[in-house]
Amino acid sequence: MKILEKDIKDVTVVGEIINRMNIADLDFFDSESDVICKRQPFLISLIMSYHRDLKPNVFEEMAKVVFIVWEFFKLRNKIKRKKITQTQFEKIELRNFQMLKYLEGESDELERLNVIDSDLDHLNSKTLFAGIRLIFNTQDAFVKMDTQDKGCLLLDMKCLIECFEKIER
């Protein structure tokens, strides 16, 4: 995977966003939810699906992760004008699931690593995704989760990042 100068600069940005989300109060999440509802309503739908499907402690952490992704992208002009759709998300999700299916059938470890590396090279927000992976590997709620369930949530966040990146192009 290629690490670019932008990725290195994004380390500070992502770290600051994660720190802000960790200390944010309910008022912040309420007011920012109103903004999200107007500018990217799909994110609210995604959060609500997590509310329905996850245990309360996991839901709280997962909602924070969605807000981290939102905070990373929200000030970009194209994000202000164009909305993520469920169809767009599902299309990206299907592509990612197909890649995982391919990886399951690939016995050559080097080939699997090359496919993963190539896939991540196309991600422009590598630092954001790395920060989310760190959260998934350190926050108690995620650490205690079933590996497959955690993987599905992590894949959702990769898909969400890819949706935002697609809007930016």
In this predicted structure, the answer to whether residue 7 has a pLDDT above a threshold of 80 is no
- The whole domain housing 130 covers 6-168
Q: How far apart are CA 66 and CA 48, in angstroms?
A: 11
Domain-embedded: residue 23: yes
Domain-embedded: residue 1: no
> What is the pLDDT averaged over residues 90-100?
92
Q: pLDDT of 24-35, one tens digit each?
A: 999 999 999 999
Q: What contacts 99, CB < 8 A, 6 or more positions away?
A: 115, 119
State how many domains the chain has: 1
First to last CA, the chain: 21
pLDDT at 105: 83
Its pTM stands at: 0.90
Q: pLDDT of 96-130, one tens digit each?
A: 998 888 888 878 778 877 877 788 878 899 999 99
